[in-house]
Amino acid sequence: MRVATIASSSSVDPPRADVARAALRVRARPGEAVAIDLRADAALAVALARCDEGVVHACATDDDVALVSTRDGARRTGAVDALARVFARHGADVASAAVGRTWDGVALDGGAGARGCALVAFGDAGEAAREREVVVTLTTHARAGERTRTRSRARASGCHLVEAPACEATPRAGTATWALADGDAAASLAVNENCDPDVRADLDEALAAIVREASEDEATRAAARAMLVGGAVRAPVTNGRARMGTWQGLYLCEHGARGEHARDVLAVCDAREATARTTIVVSAGKRGLRDITDDVTAAIRDAHRPGTIGTLHCFCEHTSASLVVGPSDPTFATRFEDALNDIVPESWNDEFFRHTAEGPDDMPAHVKSTIVGAHKTVPVDADGTLSPLNGQRLYLCEHRNVGGFNSGLARRVTLTLQCD
C-alpha cells in the first residue's frame, strides 16, 4: 500500500459553533430497530433546545449493530428482518458493517431533523436484549438566513441524479450534510456516477433484486432498501459547494410506490472551519478491503489541537470504491468481500444490467459502492485518537479488478478534520 499526501489546508479562527458529545446507552435485541433519543443526555438536550440548525454524527461501538435513518424505529422491525435475511449467511458483523455503523443527520429548530437515528441489532433472534453504546457528536449554530434546499420532481420509484444544493454562510473549507426534508422511510440519498443514466436504472433494479426474496411485503422491501442505502450524504465543501470526485453526483433514490411528487433535499453545513484537510492516495494491489486506519490517523495527527474533540470526515472520490468501518478480526475482510460478491453477483450483467461496456466488474462495483457508502465520519478524542471506534478499523473497499476509469487502483480519500 502506498499513501501520499497531495494537498492540505489549515484554518485559523474558526466560526462560532457549539459542540456537544455524549455516549448514549441503547438497549436492543437482535431484530429490533430502536429509535435513539438524543435528549436522553442532558448536554445534548440543552444543545438541541438552543439549536437553529446543525449536524449530528453518531457512531456505534459494537460490531453487531448498525445505525439507520428512520423516524419510527419500532415500526421498522420488518425491514430489519428483511436485511437480516439478506446477510443471513455472512454474520452479524458483516451485516452491520454493510448497513453502516456510523450515521450522519441534521438538527433543525430544536429537533433531530425530519428523520432521526435508530439502532439496528443483528445476530441470533433468540439472544436477550442488552445495552449498546452510541457516541453522538452534535454541532449547532445560529442560522444566518433561509435554509438551502433543492426540490426534485420524482417518479414513483427509481434513482435520480439531483443537484447538491450549495450551503449559505459556510466556512471556506468544511463539510456539509444533505438530508431529506421529510420523514418518508421509502427514500434515500447516495453518491455515485453522474454521467451514464444506465447506472441509475441498473442500480434501482439491483436494489430491488437484493431484497426481493427477503419479504413478501413491498412496503417492507422499500424500507429495507432505504436502510441499506442511507438517509443522508455528508461530503467536503469549499465555499459552500460540494467537493466530490469528477464522476460523482448526488442520487435521490425513491423506493416506494408513490405517484409523481416533490421531494426537498436540505443542505446543512457544519459551521466549524476545517482544522485541516488533506487528500491521501491509497494504491490498492487488488480487489478487496484495505485497512487504512493507521494511514488516516497519521495524516491528521499533527493537525489536531490537543484538548479539543471533533470529527474526522473521510470521503472516497470514486464511484467503484467505498469506505467501511469494521472489526479488526483478520477474517472480516475476506468475509465482507465474499458477502458483497454474493449479494451483487456479476451474473446480473447477463440478466438485466445495461451499463456493461467497462467490464463485468464495473456495474456490480457501482452497486456495492452505493450500499457500503463513499463517506464515513468518525469521532476524534481530545488526545487526537479515534478511540470511540472501540478497536474497529476503517477500510477502503476496492470493488474492481482493474480500478476506476483513468485511475487504476489508486484511490483518493479526502480527510476533513473539524475540532471545537
Span 352-378, pLDDT tens digits: 999 999 999 999 999 999 999 999 999
Per the structure, how many domains does the chain have?
1
Residue 413 contacts residue 323 (beta carbons within 8 Å): yes
pLDDT band at 152 (very low <50, low <70, confident <90, very high): low
Percent of the chain with pLDDT over 90: 59
- Give the C-alpha distances (Å, rounded to integers) separating 88 from 123, 206, 214, 216, 245: 9, 18, 10, 17, 34
Question: Whole-angstrom Cα distance, residue 91 to residue 202?
Answer: 27
DSSP 377-403: EEEE-TTS--GGGTT-EEEEEE--SS-
pLDDT in tens, 208-232: 999 999 999 998 999 999 999 999 9
Question: Mind listing the pLDDT tens digit for each residue in 50-62?
Answer: 888 889 999 999 9
Write the DSSP symbol of residue 352: T
Q: Say if residue 250's pLDDT is above 90.
A: yes
Q: How confident is the model at residue 5 (pLDDT cuts 50, 70, 90)?
A: very low
As a whole number, mean pLDDT of residues 253-257 equals 85
- Residues 240-264 have a mean pLDDT of 86
CB-side neighbour CA atoms (13 Å) of 18: 17
How sure is the predictor about 18, in pLDDT bands with cuts at 50, 70 and 90?
confident
Element (H, E) at 235: strand 232-238
The Cβ-side half-sphere exposure at 385, using a 13 Å CA radius, reads 8
**Would you state the pLDDT for residue 17?**
78
Residue burial 290-327, b: 16+ Cβ < 10 Å; e: rest: bbbbebbbebbeebbeeebbbbbbbbbbbbbbbbbbbb
Give the DSSP per-residue string, 309-321. Answer: -EEEEEEE--SSE
8 A C-beta contact, residue 226 and residue 253: yes
* CA dihedral sign, ordered 207, 213, 215, 217: positive
Range of the structural domain that residue 307 is part of: 3-419
288 compared with 183, residue with greater pLDDT: 288
The DSSP symbol for 285 reads S
What CA–CA distance (Å, rounded) separates 167 from 16?
17
Other C-beta atoms within 10 Å of 36: how many?
Answer: 20
Mean pLDDT of the chain: 87
Asked if 189 contacts 179 with a C-beta cutoff of 8 angstroms, the reply is yes
- Predicted confidence at residue 271, as pLDDT, reads 84
CA 116, CA 396: separation in Å to the nearest integer? 27
Phi, then psi, of 301 in degrees rounded to 5: -55, -50
3-state secondary structure of 387: helix
Could you tell me what percent of the chain has a pLDDT over 70? Answer: 86
Q: What is the pLDDT of residue 7?
A: 39
User: What residue type is assigned to position 351 of the chain?
Assistant: E
pLDDT of residue 403: 65
Q: Residues 85-104: pLDDT tens digits?
A: 999 999 999 999 999 999 99
pLDDT at 9: 38
By C-alpha distance, which of 296, 320, 304 is closest to 395?
A: 296
Q: 123-132, 157-166, 188-197: lowest mean pLDDT where?
A: 157-166
* Calpha distance 158→32 (Å, rounded): 28
Cell of 58: 453518531
DSSP label at residue 389: G
Q: Where are the alpha helices (DSSP H) in 87-215?
A: 92-99, 197-211
pLDDT tens by residue, 374-397: 999 999 988 888 765 778 999 999
What is the distance between the alpha carbons of residues 21 and 360, in angstroms, rounded to a whole number?
A: 45
Crossing angle of the two packed helices 332-343 and 92-99, in degrees rounded to 10 = 70
Mean pLDDT for 115-134 is 91
279: three-class secondary structure by DSSP: strand
Q: What are phi and psi of 206, to 5 degrees?
A: -65, -45
Strand arrangement, sheet containing 276-283 = 3-10, 276-283, 410-419, 310-316, 375-380
- What does the alpha-carbon distance between residue 243 and residue 87 come to, in Å, rounded to a whole number? 33
